Structures are given as structure tokens and as C-alpha cells.
Amino acid sequence: MNKPISTDFTRLFNIKYPIIGAPMFLVSNADMVVATSEAGALGTFPALNFRPIEEYKKALKEIKSRTKKPIGVNIIVNKSNVRAREDIRYALDAGVEVFITSLGSPKEVIEQAHKVGAKVFCDVTNLEHAKKVQDLGADGVIAVASGAGGHAGPITPLVLVPWLVKELKIPVILAGGIATGQTMAAALALGACGVSVGTRFIASREAGVDKAYKDAVVSSTPEDIVMTTRVSGTPATVINTDYVKKMGTELPWIVKTLKENPLTKKYVVPLIHLAGMKSLESAATKPTWKTVWSAGQSVGLVNEILSCQEIIDKLVKEYHETLSELQETIK
């Protein structure tokens, strides 16, 4: 049995380990959320993984019936998500304890969540955005550093975490490059009070994605990860499959022009997001030559497909071993 790891984050939610099973578009499902929370971490999922909204309501009910531990829901808070208000309401009705916001202003999520004592952590990639969400009342930030899967930030975690910790008064969680106990120990040494782990959980037994996607995570190296704007219009990291190579990583010039034009931006951006969602969904759930698989550089640290429980146990065991080895090294 692994020893608990106590941080501001674990004390806030009364959980054993400062680990978030990151909310991954099309990957996170009810089984993953339940297994992760039951294992002592915090299981989360994107609300938009369940469509139409009736499926989302069913998923919330199912997850809450299977675990009494805290869970989290990711809300996309930009204007392309017309469901955001309903997603928040149904999550609160179900008793969700944590919200993770992405790609926009979290103001409404924070206001609604705090009415019932739920907490809100916001994805950020820089200090400016982090200070804005702190001022809005966020309970913490998730520092999305370079190397993360999905919409990764440009700053190395070695700088981003201590920078935010120094400048903010709220907890900082690191996302990006975490797949082993060694990397988790490094994150906490930098001042983070927890880690958000995504890519490692793609290669889990509970993940409902196609086996080819899981195998690609296991077999890929950090050099196989590229940044592309073709998927959602916002820079995102994917595995450099043959299709990605053929498609290129930049938006076509006409689409990019329309996206940047103030008169057409509000119409074009939602269309880019919709097209990107459909291509990711197709690739994640069934074999297709149009293979677009989101993942971070930590694929290089993933060597096998395990259950969520095994992944968390391994992370924590390696974390404690790393601390012991470090103490021996610096004697």
C-alpha cells in the first residue's frame, strides 16, 4: 500500500494523491473517471465528451452512483461551446466538486460553482491569464506547459511553475510531461501542489479509444509529437502520423485570414472547432486513414497499457522511490 502524498491540493479535496486524471477530449469516459477517483486521485472528463446533452446527464448520474470520491468536469468556456451554461448547471445538480475551465473566461463557472462550494481550477499558459483568473476568484490554476498534450503552452515547466508559484496566491498544478513518479516529484519540487496527467491515461485499459491509438502512445517518442493549428485553429500537439504529415500543421491561408478578420472571426472559429472535433472523434474511435491523435511529449515515458489503478499506484510508488534515491544521492 502506497503512502499518501499530502499537499494543499489533496487537503482541499480530502484525496490521497495530488494527481488529476486530466480531462481528455474523446478519451476520458465514465470508467476512467471512477477508476481514477477510486484509486485516490481526481478523475475528470470534458462535458463535451458526451453528446447530446442527455448523454452527459446520464454520465454524471452514472459516475456519481459508482463513486463517492470527488470528481471533476472540464468546461470549454469560449463562445463556440453553446452548451456551457447547461453543462455547468447539470454538473452542479449532480454534486460535481471540481470544475476545470479551458479556452476562455471562467467568470460564470466560478460564480455558479462558488454558490454551492464547488472549486474551479483554470487552464493557463502564462502569468497574464493566471492573474486574471485569480482576480475572478479561481481556486487554483493548471499550468499547461510545453510538452503537454492538446493545447500546450510555450513555456518549459521548469520555468512556468516556479514563476506562477512566486506571483500567485492560489495553488498551481502542473500539466505537461508527467507520466512517471520521477516527473511528478520534479513538479512538486518546483512548487506545484499537484499534477495533471493526460497522455499516460490514453494507454489505459479503461480508455475507450481504438487500440491503434493506445499502441501509438506506447510506441511513439517525444520527437513524434508536433504542434498543429489544423485541428482546432488553436495550437495543439498531436502524434505526427502519415495523415498529419500530408495535411500539414498550418491552417490554409484563406481560413487563417478569415479567422483573424474581426468581421468573420466569430463565424469561422466555431466551424474550425467543429471540423477539428469531428476529425479527432473519427480517429480516436475507429481505424481511419485520417489519423489525428492528440498526445503530449510524455509518450516517450509510456511503455505499456495498464489499468488506471495500476498507473496511479506506479506513479506514487516511483514518486516515493525518487525521494528516497534523491536523499541518498545528496548525502
Sequential DSSP letters for 240-258? --HHHHHH-SS--HHHHHH
Q: pLDDT at residue 233 above 70?
A: no
How do strand 236-239 and strand 225-228 relate by DSSP bridges?
Answer: antiparallel
Q: Which of 51-65, 173-187, 254-268, 292-306 shows the lowest per-residue confidence on average (mean pLDDT)?
A: 254-268
Closest C-alpha among 294, 260, 263 to residue 277:
294
Q: How confident is the model at residue 255 (pLDDT cuts 50, 70, 90)?
A: very low
CA distance 90 to 295: 29
Least confident interval from 117-121, 197-201, 273-277 = 273-277
Q: List, in order of start, the domains of the chain with CATH numbers.
A: 8-208+303-329 (3.20.20.70), 212-285 (no CATH)
Predicted pLDDT of residue 283: 41
pLDDT at residue number 152:
87
pLDDT score, position 120: 98
User: 328: which residues sit within 8 A by CB, 6+ positions away?
Assistant: none
The least confident of 25-39, 137-151, 166-180, 257-271 is 257-271
- pTM comes to 0.87
Query: Average pLDDT in the 185-205 region?
Result: 98
Quick one: CA dihedral 228, 232, 233, 234, positive or negative? negative
Q: What percent of the chain has pLDDT over 90?
A: 70
